[in-house]
Structure 1
Amino acid sequence: MAENNKEWIKLWSEGAPGAQGNGDEDTPAIMAYPVNGEVKGAVIVCPGGGYAMRADHEGEPIALWLNSIGIPAFVLRYRVAPYRYPSALTDVQRAVRYVRHHADQYGIQGSRVGVLGFSAGGHLTASIGTHFDLGNPNATDPIDRHSCRPDAIIPCYPVITFKPPFYHKGSMLNLLGDSPDPELIEYLSLEEKVTPDTPPTFLWHTADDDGVVVENSFLFATALRKNNVPFDLHVFEKGPHGMGLGEQDPHVASWTTVCGLWLKKQQF
Structure 2
Amino acid sequence: MALRFAAMGYHAFVLRYSTFMGGTFGFPDFQKEMEVNENCMHPTPMREIGKAILTIREHAEEWLVDVDKIAICGFSAGAHNCAMYSVYWDKPIIHEYFNGKPEMFKPAATILGYTLSDYLFMRSIPKSPIDQQLFEVSNLAFTGSKEPDEETLKEVSPVLHVSESTPPMFLWATSEDTLVPAQHTLRMAHALADKKIPYEVHIYEKGPHGLSLSAQATAQAKSQIYQDAARWIVEAEAWLEKRLALDLPELTQFELMEKDNKW
The alignment status of 1:120 with 2:77, answered yes or no, reads yes
| SS of structure 2 residue aligned to 1:234 | strand
Paired residues of 2:75 and 2:113 also in contact (CA < 8 A): yes
| SS of structure 2 residue aligned to 1:76 | coil
Greater strand proportion: 1
**Change in CA separation of 1:134 and 1:194 when aligned onto 2, cut-off 3 Å:** closer
1:190 alignment counterpart = 158
Deviation at 1:201, TM superposition (A): 0.2
Paired residues of 2:139 and 2:147 also in contact (CA < 8 A): no
Deviation at 1:103, TM superposition (A): 1.3
| SS of structure 1 residue aligned to 2:74 | strand
Q: Deviations over 1:169-206 (max 9, x none)?
A: 35433211224243221111111100111100000000
Deviation at 1:208, TM superposition (A): 1.0
Match of 1:239 among 189, 193, 207: 207
Greater helix proportion: 2
The alignment status of 1:155 with 2:112, answered yes or no, reads yes
2:248 alignment counterpart = none
Give the Cα separation in 2 of the matches to 1:253 and 1:184: 35
Give the Cα separation in 2 of the matches to 1:189 and 1:241: 20
Q: What is the aligned length? A: 205
Match of 1:173 among 126, 133, 140: 140
Structure whose CA Rg is larger: 2
| Unpaired runs of at least 5, structure 1 | 1-61
Paired residues of 1:128 and 1:149 also in contact (CA < 8 A): no
TM-score (norm 2): 0.72
TM-score (norm 1): 0.71
| SS of structure 2 residue aligned to 1:74 | coil
1:221 alignment counterpart = 189
1:14 alignment counterpart = none
Cα RMSD of the aligned pairs, angstroms, is 2.4
Deviation at 1:211, TM superposition (A): 1.1
Give the Cα separation in 1 of the matches to 2:125 and 2:11: 34
Q: Deviations over 1:218-256 (max 9, x none)?
A: 110000000000000000001010000110222111111
Identity %: 30
1:259 alignment counterpart = 236
Deviation at 1:134, TM superposition (A): 7.7
Give the Cα separation in 2 of the matches to 1:97 and 1:162: 29
Letter of the 2:75 partner, please give it: F
1:102 alignment counterpart = 59
1:80 alignment counterpart = 19
2:259 alignment counterpart = none
Give the Cα separation in 1 of the matches to 2:180 and 2:125: 8
| Unpaired runs of at least 5, structure 2 | 21-36, 127-133, 216-224, 246-263
Give the Cα separation in 2 of the matches to 1:78 and 1:211: 22
Give the Cα separation in 2 of the matches to 1:174 and 1:233: 29
1:63 alignment counterpart = 2
